[in-house]
Amino acid sequence: MDRAVEAASDFFKLPSETKQEFASDDIRQPVRYGTSLTDGARPSRAFLKHYVHPLSEWMKYWPEKPPTYREDMGKFSAEVRRVALQLMEAILEGLGLGKHYQHDEFERGLQLLQVNCYPKEPEGESAIGLAPHSDHGFLTILLASCPGLEVLDRSTNTWRVVQQPRHVLHVHVGDLMEVLSNGRIKTVVHRAVLNPGEARISMASIHSFVMHEKVSVAKELVDEQDPEKYKESSFSDFLDYVTSNVDKKRMSFLDSLRM
């Protein structure tokens, strides 16, 4: 974990020209670097997003600088994937679907890594690093170098600060889990705030099915009292939605799937 955080941090310290080689507006690129402005004029976040699984297919596109990046991030990602698959089996079992439910689809599923670098919070300003959202996949496993994550408490509609002890991974449920479980497990709305004391690195590993594989409500969880609540969709449908001109502030991708 430490080596992965260090590799990420070293990447963001590279000269701007080196990082810009990965800049693209095309969200289907296998590796993408960018910065975002949330409310001020200064960027509140820099990110590097890339595909991870299978490593043999994607690692060749990853940054070669810092020289530790591929090896350290590759090891971290493979371990995180193992954790995600095990957790997924336990959740499927808990839903009464059996731990091998859609086993092959999960095994060959997509893993995306979103590496974020947030600046230190400017003095006297309170700033949002990453605006409220839910993640697309079934599960997100997140590692961060210091606090900054907040989750929305649905019962009170208030933000809760999430502690960040060293070497603790957070697990979020994403939109696809809500779909598959027919709404029994709800996606987690979260955001990142800037930390006044220090700059922050976070790495979110997102797990879903391959590009064109549809995720639908488990038929076992549908009956007369509990009709199917969501339409099926694939990761590709999600990318199409994100690049469409629908007003995404008013309707999230998950909202667009509700029946």
Ligand X SMILES: O=C(O)CCC(=O)C(=O)O
* For ligand X, the closer CB: 137 or 217: 137
Q: How far is the CB of 41 from Fe ion (least distance, A)?
A: 24
Cβ-based neighbour number of residue 88 at 10 Å: 21
Can you tell me which of 44, 111, 114, 182 binds ligand X, judged by CB under 6 A? 114
CB 254 within 8 Å of CB 175: yes
User: What are the DSSP calls for 85-111, one per residue?
Assistant: HHHHHHHHHHTTS-TTTTHHHHHT-EE
Sign for the pseudo-dihedral over CA of 48, 49, 55, 58: negative
Work out whether 116 is an interface residue with ligand X (CB under 6 A). yes
Work out whether 204 is an interface residue with ligand X (CB under 6 A). yes
- In whole angstroms, what is the distance from residue 220 CA to residue 121 CA? 47
Q: Per CB under 6 A, which of residues 133..162 are in contact with ligand X?
A: 135, 142, 144, 148-149
- In whole angstroms, what is the distance from residue 40 CA to residue 247 CA? 22
* For ligand X, the closer CB: 36 or 60: 36
Q: How far is the CB of 27 from Fe ion (least distance, A)?
A: 15
Which among ligand X, Fe ion, none contacts residue 136 (Cβ within 5 to 8 A by kind)? none
In 3D, which of 19, 8, 22, 32 has the Cα closest to residue 243? 32
Positions that interact with Fe ion (CB under 5 A): 135
* For Fe ion, the closer CB: 88 or 173: 173
Chain residues in the site for ligand X (CB under 6 A): 114, 116, 130, 135, 142, 144, 148-149, 190, 192, 202, 204
